[in-house]
Every structure is written in C-alpha cells, then in structure tokens.
Amino acid sequence: MKPSSEEEEEEAVRGVGPWDECFEVAVQLALRAGQIIRKALTEEKQVSTKTSAADLVTETDHRVEDLIVSELRKRFPSHSRFIAEEATASGAKCVLTHSPTWIIDPIDGTCNFVHRFPTVAVSIGFAVHQELEFGVIHHCTEERLYTGRRGRGAFCNGQRLQVSRETDLAKALVLTEIGPKRDPDTLKVFLSNMERLLHAKAHGVRVIGSSTLALCYLASGAADAYYQFGLHCWDLAAATVIIREAGGIVIDTSGGPLDLMSCRVVAAGTREMAALIAQALQTINYGRDDEK
C-alpha cells in the first residue's frame, strides 16, 4: 500500500541518519520540559536578574536546563560539549567546537513566563563539526513542536513548514526583539531601526517576547523577516535549522554569512528581503558569545 502524505511527512521527520537517536531524545526532552513550564507558568516564581533589570531568570529556567543537560549526559556519555543559557550566565565557556555540541535555551521568553504571558518555548539545537544538524523548539502553552533536520525539511506537529516568498519590504510583516540593554543610546538605535522599516512602508513591526518563536513564525510563513541585536547562540541555533529547512535565509546583519556567536541576525523568507532588512539597520554592539 502506498503511504499517505501524512505518513510520508512523518517518515521525513524521523529519517535515517547518524543523529537519529539524538534527535528523538531532544524531542522527548523538549516535550517533558514543556510540561514543567506549563505547570510553573501559573505558579509563584522566584525571579532574579542577570545582565540587566530586564534580563530575568527563574528557578524553573534552572530546573529545566538541569533536566535537559543531565538526561543528555546519561544518554550520550561521549558528548561533553553543552552550551546552555544559565550555565553560561554562571561563567561556563560558550565555545562551538568540532565535537558534538548541544545548544540549549531552557525557557525562551523568561520575561513572558514571569508575567504569565503565554509566548514561551524551550529550544534545543545540535551541532557537529560546527555545522548545525537539527533544531527542536517546543511552544509550551500551545503545544506546538517545531523541528528541523539538515537536509530533511522543517515541520510543526508533523506538517511541513514553508517560508513566505515575499521580496517587497512594503508588503512585509517584520518581527524583532528589544534585547536586554535599555540605556538611552541603545534604545535610540533600536527605535531608529524600527522607524526606518516603517518609513520603508513595512506593513508592521512586531515584538512578541520570544526570539525562538518569532523565528518559528517566520519559518511557518506567518511573517516575512526577523532581525535582532542582542540575542544569543542558544536563541538562534535550533531556529536557524528550522528556517533553512523551511526554505529561508539566515544571515549576519552586515549582509554576510551568519556567525552564530555574533549576537545578531537577520532572517527572511527570501534573500532579497534579508538584504533589504540588513541594509536598513544600524548596528547595536552586544559583543560576542564566545568572548564573554
């Protein structure tokens, strides 16, 4: 019997390759993490700050990160490289090597999480030889599972994703995030960048409080472009695979190739749109993840 289109889609998600087990474990851990986050969303939280008053962390961030890393260490004892947001904030090195490397954001949208705003996600990326192999992002409150595997497509709950093919900025919906810096000079440039896009007649510029989910919306065709200064490799790793596998473009804000450690990005459904966004932006310097 010929398989149905849904079965073919599911087979494409599973695939056959050297990192199958890693991918399946990442999916299961993302789903487990989502259960923890959904339960904790409505509970009282212990909140502290990191680099700024707007850069928040909770006990649930730590709990989810500890769960993911400890389970991965058990399942894959030969894997020694983990880049995880809260461990990095505590002083762990943030370096991408040729070894198998897990890149983890336990809760993307922590400020949303603190305020019980439901746009929150867990993100797990995986790289080998500095090449991103797959990404898993779980939108915890809507129970949407976004996945992408290099060369095998991108999916949300088993349905294939396809980016927008829009090339005209005047017809675009653009997504961005503010970043943790709130000093007057940074805010001036941030607002100026938004103003430039609106002067170019973009349909709108949206901020949703989760860079990973904004990038997933781009991958699904719900938005045409995304840009940000001040995001980190754990915000970007999994989503980059998903966007590329959905047919999209992920580049540096300079217009050159993506540098995962540069704390800046432009993503779009088409190369033409990505170039238009990059050309419009003034730079906000956040340094590099591998120099902190």
Catalytic positions are 85, 105, 107-108, 110, 235
Which pairs count as long-range contacts for 166-169, CB under 8 Å and 24+ apart, including other chains? 166/224, 166/269, 166/270, 166/273, 167/270, 167/272, 167/273, 169/197, 169/200, 169/201, 169/202, 169/225, 169/273, 169/276, 169/277, 169/280
CB of 106 closer than 8 Å to CB of 61: yes
CB of 179 closer than 8 Å to CB of 284: yes
- How far is the C-alpha of 129 from the C-alpha of 118, rounded, in Å? 35
Give me the half-sphere count of Cα atoms (radius 13 Å) on the Cβ side of residue 30.
30
DSSP annotation of 288 reads -
Q: How many CB atoms lie within 10 A of CB 246?
A: 24
- How far is the C-alpha of 164 from the C-alpha of 66, rounded, in Å? 36
| Phi then psi dihedrals of residue 108, to 5 deg | -95, 125
- How far is the C-alpha of 67 from the C-alpha of 47, rounded, in Å? 19
3 state DSSP class of 46: coil
And the tokens for 93? 């090195």
- How far is the C-alpha of 154 from the C-alpha of 136, rounded, in Å? 10
What's the one-letter identity of residue 83?
Answer: I
